[in-house]
Amino acid sequence: MAHIDAAFRSSRINEAYFFVKNEYVLVNYAPGTTDDKVLVGPHLIGAGYPSLKGTAFAEPGIDCAFGSHHMDQAFIFSGNLCAQINYAPHTTNDRIIKGPMTITAMFPFFKGTVFENGVDAAFESTKNYEAYLFKDNQYALINYDYDSHLISIDLTNRGFPSLKNTIFESGIDAAFALHNTDEAYLFKGDYYARINFASGTTEDNITGGIKKILTYWPSLRGILPLKSSG
């Protein structure tokens, strides 16, 4: 059984893409309510994103992603591969801008770190061209602009003290930044949390506790958990 593997925020307000194995949905996530709704899907990734057909991002699928501050762009990951794409919201005019290539070809500063062979989850910071990436119990803060560079790597529970002694301390399955300043959703198994990640500080906090996904995201009922398509 599979839950959410990856997600990223759209350039369109209150919209986000969710990926589960080789399928995806586009959701209006209606922050702070249970009025979320599926706008597109579920569809096969290769059908909704023709540029990804025949790549690892279509099969087996996307296992991490984050939206870019460059309009309509995102970074996607599958195993040790990644690509930068224009996802052309609400169309099938997507295109690959860079890649597919290994993570260390895209981000050479990850060589020799836990991130070189895969990334579990990520979300963009409120600060332009910065993003948080997560692998097991570690996180990295990077600048992904044209002169991309590593800002820091540390344990998740040190960079995000609100996650200490929670299920997210040892790993995060998927995440995406809200359109609200300094806020993100984190997902793991059946659960999710909404956090204020307090960019540039360690004053983050969880808003409303850790909750069951299907209780508070009614649009995903009947979609999650997805049985293996293999």
Domain ranges of the chain: 6-220
Predicted local confidence at residue 1, as pLDDT: 42
Is the pLDDT at 228 greater than 50? The verdict is no
CB atoms < 10 A from the CB of 201, how many?
8
Percentage of the chain beyond pLDDT 70 is 97
Task: Please give, one letter per residue, the 3-state secondary structure of 172-187.
Answer: CCEEEECCCCCEEEEE
pLDDT reported for residue 3: 87
Average pLDDT of the chain, as a whole number: 92
- DSSP-based three-state secondary structure for 212: strand
- The conformation of residue 117, written as its DSSP 8-state character, comes to G
Sign for the pseudo-dihedral over CA of 54, 42, 228, 168: positive
pLDDT in tens, 130-177: 999 999 999 999 999 988 999 999 999 999 999 999 999 999 999 999
- Output the six-digit token pair for 196: 């204020």
Say yes or no: domain 6-220 is CATH 3.20.20.140: no
CA distance 101 to 213: 33
Q: Give residue 73's pLDDT.
A: 97
Report the alpha-carbon angle 228-62-119, nearest 5. Answer: 115
Q: How many angstroms separate the Cα of 215 from the Cα of each of 33, 127, 132, 224?
A: 11, 32, 27, 12
Whole-model pTM: value is 0.94
